[in-house]
Chains A and B, each alone.
Chain A
Amino acid sequence: MYKMNCDVCIVGGGPAGLSAAVAAKKSGAENVLIVERDEALGGILQQCIHPGFGLKLFKEELTGPEYYGRFVDEAKELGVNTLLNSMVLEVGANTVTCINSELGVCEISAKSIVLSMGCRERTRANIMIPGTRPAGVYTAGTAQRLINRQNEMVGKKVVILGSGDIGMIMARRMTLEGAKVEAVVEIMDFLAGLTRNRVQCLDDFGIPLLLSHTIVNIKGNDRVESVVIAEVDENKKPIMSTAREIECDTVLLSVGLIPENELTSNAKIEISPITKGPKVNQYMQTSIESVFACGNVVHVNDLVDNVSTESKKAGESAAAYAAGTLHTSGAVTVETGENVRYVCPQTVVPADEKVDLYFRVMKPQKNVVITVSDGDNVLLSRKAIKVNPGEMEKVTVSVKDISSLKVSVKEA
Chain B
Amino acid sequence: MKADVLVIGAGAVGTAITRELTKYRLNVICVDKREDVGGDCSKSNSAIIHTGYDAKPGTLESELVVSANPQYDKLTKDLDIPFKRIGAILPAITDEQFAQLPEIKEKALKNRVYDVEYLSKEKILEIEPNINPDVKGGLFIPRESIIDAFIYVVAMAENAVANGAKFMLNTEVTGIRKEGDRVVGAETTNGYIEADYIVNAAGLFCDDIANMVGKYDYTVVPRKGQFYILDKNTGCKVNHIVLPIPTKVTKGKLMTPTIHGNMLVGPTAEDLEDKFDKSTNTEGLNSIRDDVQKLIPGVMLQDTITQFSGLRANRNPEGLNIDVYDDVKHYVNLSGVRSTGLTNSVSIGSYVANLLKDIGLKMEFKDNFIEKRKGIVCMRELSREEQHKKIIENPLYGNIVCRCESVTEGEIVDAIHSPIPATSVDAIKRRLRAGMGRCQGGFCGPKVIEILARELKVDPKDIRKNNSKSYMVCGKVK
Q: Count chain A CB atoms within 10 A of each CB in B396, B440, B445 and give the residue with the most.
A: B440
Could you tell me the distance in whole angstroms from the C-beta of B267 to the nearest C-beta in chain A?
A: 15
Determine the distance from Cα of A125 to Cα of B397 in the docked complex, in whole angstroms: 29
A177 lies within 8 A of B279 (CB): no
A221 lies within 8 A of B280 (CB): no
Determine the distance from Cα of A141 to Cα of B395 in the docked complex, in whole angstroms: 28
**A217 contacts across to B, CB distance below 8 A:** 279, 281
| Interface pick from B13-21, B205-213, B303-311 | B303-311
**B470 contacts across to A, CB distance below 8 A:** 134-135, 222-223
| Interface pick from A98-106, A360-368, A389-397 | A98-106
Could you tell me the distance in whole angstroms from the C-beta of B375 to the nearest C-beta in chain A?
A: 21
Closest to B467 in A: A222
Q: Is A121 an interface residue (CB 8 A)?
A: yes
B477 lies within 8 A of A133 (CB): no
Determine the distance from Cα of A153 to Cα of B449 in the docked complex, in whole angstroms: 13
A177 lies within 8 A of B469 (CB): no
**B110 contacts across to A, CB distance below 8 A:** none
Which of the residues B395, B439, B477 comes within 8 Å of A177, measured between beta carbons? B477
Could you tell me the distance in whole angstroms from the C-beta of A338 to the nearest C-beta in chain B?
A: 26
Complex interface residues of chain A between 198 and 245 (CB less than 8 A to chain B): 216-217, 219, 221-223
Determine the distance from Cα of A126 to Cα of B303 in the docked complex, in whole angstroms: 8
**A376-401 interface bits toward B, Cβ cutoff 8 Å, 1 = contact, 0 = none:** 00000000000000000000000000
Determine the distance from Cα of A120 to Cα of B437 in the docked complex, in whole angstroms: 12
Which of the residues B400, B466, B472 comes within 8 Å of A99, measured between beta carbons? B400
Complex interface residues of chain B between 461 and 478 (CB less than 8 A to chain A): 461, 464-478
A-B contact pairs, 12 of them (CB 8 A): A97-B384, A102-B398, A120-B442, A125-B306, A135-B465, A151-B476, A152-B449, A154-B474, A155-B474, A177-B478, A219-B279, A221-B278
| Interface pick from A19-27, A142-150, A296-304 | A142-150
**A221 contacts across to B, CB distance below 8 A:** 276, 278, 467
Residues of B within 8 A of A (CB): 233, 276, 278-282, 285, 304-308, 384-385, 387-389, 391-392, 395-400, 403, 406, 425, 438-443, 445-446, 449-450, 460-461, 464-478
- Chain A interface size, as a band, is 35 or more
A130 lies within 8 A of B279 (CB): yes
Given contacts A104-B388, A124-B440, contact A152 B473 (CB under 8 A): yes
Given contacts A1-B388, A123-B305, contact A222 B398 (CB under 8 A): no
6 additional A-B residue pairs with CB within 8 Å, beyond A135-B471, A146-B449, A153-B474: A128-B307, A152-B460, A152-B461, A177-B477, A217-B279, A221-B467
Which of the residues A134, A152, A249 comes within 8 Å of B465, measured between beta carbons? A134
Q: Is A196 an interface residue (CB 8 A)?
A: no
A101 lies within 8 A of B399 (CB): yes
Q: Is A10 an interface residue (CB 8 A)?
A: no
Which of the residues A104, A121, A139 comes within 8 Å of B387, measured between beta carbons? A104
Q: Count chain A CB atoms within 10 A of each CB in B280, B282, B445 and give the residue with the most.
A: B280
Determine the distance from Cα of A332 to Cα of B391 in the docked complex, in whole angstroms: 47
Q: Is A403 an interface residue (CB 8 A)?
A: no
Given contacts A125-B306, A265-B233, contact A99 B442 (CB under 8 A): no
Closest to A253 in B: B442
A121 lies within 8 A of B280 (CB): no
Determine the distance from Cα of A226 to Cα of B449 in the docked complex, in whole angstroms: 24
Given contacts A101-B398, A152-B460, contact A130 B282 (CB under 8 A): yes
Given contacts A1-B388, A104-B388, contact A153 B475 (CB under 8 A): yes
Q: Count chain B CB atoms within 10 A of each CB in A136, A139, A150 and give the residue with the most.
A: A150
**A219 contacts across to B, CB distance below 8 A:** 279
**A375 contacts across to B, CB distance below 8 A:** none
B473 lies within 8 A of A120 (CB): no
**A120 contacts across to B, CB distance below 8 A:** 438-439, 442-443
**A1-43 interface bits toward B, Cβ cutoff 8 Å, 1 = contact, 0 = none:** 1100000000000000000000000000000000001000000
Determine the distance from Cα of A361 to Cα of B460 in the docked complex, in whole angstroms: 43
**A124 contacts across to B, CB distance below 8 A:** 440
Determine the distance from Cα of A37 to Cα of B306 in the docked complex, in whole angstroms: 26
**A216 contacts across to B, CB distance below 8 A:** 282
Determine the distance from Cα of A145 to Cα of B460 in the docked complex, in whole angstroms: 14
Which of the residues A99, A131, A133, A154 comes within 8 Å of B398, measured between beta carbons? A99
Complex interface residues of chain A between 86 and 111 (CB less than 8 A to chain B): 87, 89, 97, 99-105
Determine the distance from Cα of A349 to Cα of B7 in the docked complex, in whole angstroms: 72
Q: Is A51 an interface residue (CB 8 A)?
A: no
Closest to B382 in A: A105
Closest to A224 in B: B470
Given contacts A134-B470, A142-B446, contact A178 B280 (CB under 8 A): no
A150 lies within 8 A of B460 (CB): yes
Could you tell me the distance in whole angstroms from the C-beta of B346 to the nearest C-beta in chain A?
A: 29
**B233 contacts across to A, CB distance below 8 A:** 265
Which of the residues A121, A130, A222 comes within 8 Å of B281, measured between beta carbons? A130
Could you tell me the distance in whole angstroms from the C-beta of B105 to the nearest C-beta in chain A?
A: 38
Given contacts A97-B384, A125-B306, A221-B276, contact A102 B395 (CB under 8 A): yes
